[in-house]
Chain A
């Protein structure tokens, strides 16, 4: 606990965050903080605003009101862009290029050393398929190209939007192990998922529903407060109570 208390500031801090897309309010006055060097899970049903929240943290979302600070600076400002990695839900890579070519391009843009390309291919286990066009790779392999791209610049904060969707269980396990290793090195991870059993793998949870934050707690606290061992059931119970535990 002492280590937690000595952390100078949270990796992400949002205050009064309101976002509308079109004429619909997507995020309703969110206040929260994400702790340094931990894996924070952003969980909630599809369409509850997880992606919009992540876009706001990365700084690519137009905000209506409110303030998001990332690593001590305004989200998306030039000062932090190099320190934040973003993995979008759809793998935003060039499908006509190979994995290696994609990584090489983004490494040059980021000014990352060329050797990082090979390291990333190993890390996301794509070395074997590195030279095939991404268009010919499976959905899970494409997602890993995208993940490798986000890790290239050795970011301090990694924002991952549903990174394990469509991955087989073995790969999912490997990926969570990678996340854990990154966190142990001091990297902060924010991982969204609509699969509640992934909540148990996180250090902290942000639970969302309909653009509201239902709760910020640890998996243990969620179990304790709801009296449910199963994360899926615990979350459903929380929704059922319609109570806000923030």
Chain B
């Protein structure tokens, strides 16, 4: 591992993002706008907004970072820069960690802005601590990034990469328990949702939103999120080939 290569990569990715202010603005502010929409969609139902709002703050970064990472990585593959890097004495995990740090920084900003708007301007109430919501949001962003990185290896064009979002993320969003409690789904779907990482991401957020003790179940959720992140990063590293056909 080389801290210099990791740091340089994180800095490079952030510099690239800075060159694209529109993308940064969309990344940072769209979730806050959606949160505002949600508040007024449930205008007379403060309780519903309170129940959904916390988990939403934590799930937005998962979705956006999945998408941004898979496109960024695809560009790296198609522009030849990945081939150049792979011909250099640089570790694959150094590159991936660099990406991870850059997108975690973006996620922290995104979640902080969304949380500030939701808690201060929109009067969102969660049982637990808003800081825990933001911390989980950052964890979910890194989870989304690592999955996006891995999945992007199977896309050969940006069209495909964009379509992986509805293909991989929307089913997880539908089954994670956000819209309908998992025990009310068809049995097979409930069982299937046990195998999806977003289920645990939502459950952890739901625990915080509900308040009370963040107990064993919450920590199990966090462990699963971290474990899947590491697994996806490992699989992602395998898709970075020094040699290609």
List residues of A whose CB falls within 8 A of some B CB.
21-22, 58-62, 76, 78, 81-82, 84, 86, 88, 90-97, 101, 105-106, 108-111, 133, 149, 153
Q: Which of B80, B90, B242 contacts A90 (CB 8 A)?
A: B80
CB distance A108 to B5 under 8 Å? yes
CB distance A76 to B243 under 8 Å? yes
CB distance B87 to A82 under 8 Å? no
Smallest beta-carbon distance B127→chain A, Å: 43
CB distance B87 to A76 under 8 Å? yes
Known: A81-B88, A81-B89, A96-B19. 16 other contacts (CB 8 A): A59-B243, A60-B86, A61-B243, A61-B244, A61-B245, A76-B243, A86-B84, A88-B80, A94-B81, A95-B79, A97-B16, A97-B19, A105-B9, A108-B5, A109-B9, A111-B2
Q: Given A93-B81, A101-B15, A109-B8, A59–B245 Cβ distance below 8 Å? A: no
Contacts of A86 in B (CB 8 A): 84, 87
Contacts of B15 in A (CB 8 A): 97, 101
Q: Which of A22, A60, A105 contacts B87 (CB 8 A)?
A: A60
Q: Which residue of B lies closest to A92 (CB)?
A: B80
CB distance B88 to A82 under 8 Å? yes
Contacts of A78 in B (CB 8 A): 89
Q: Which residue of B lies closest to A63 (CB)?
A: B243
Smallest beta-carbon distance B90→chain A, Å: 5
Q: How many residues of chain B are within 8 Å of chain A by beta carbon?
A: 27
Smallest beta-carbon distance B110→chain A, Å: 20
Contacts of A90 in B (CB 8 A): 79-80
- Please measure, in the bound complex, the distance between the C-alpha atom of A62 and the C-alpha atom of B85, giving whole angstroms: 17
CB distance B12 to A60 under 8 Å? no
Interface residues of B in 80-138 (CB under 8 A from A): 80-81, 83-90
- Please measure, in the bound complex, the distance between the C-alpha atom of A153 and the C-alpha atom of B88, giving whole angstroms: 9
CB distance A62 to B84 under 8 Å? no
- Beta-carbon contacts of B204-217 to A below 8 Å, as 1s and 0s? 00000000000000
- B20 interface residue, CB < 8 Å from A? yes
A-B contact pairs, 25 of them (CB 8 A): A60-B83, A61-B244, A62-B245, A76-B87, A76-B242, A81-B88, A81-B89, A84-B87, A86-B87, A88-B80, A88-B83, A88-B84, A90-B79, A90-B80, A92-B83, A96-B16, A96-B20, A106-B88, A108-B5, A108-B7, A109-B4, A109-B85, A109-B88, A110-B90, A149-B84
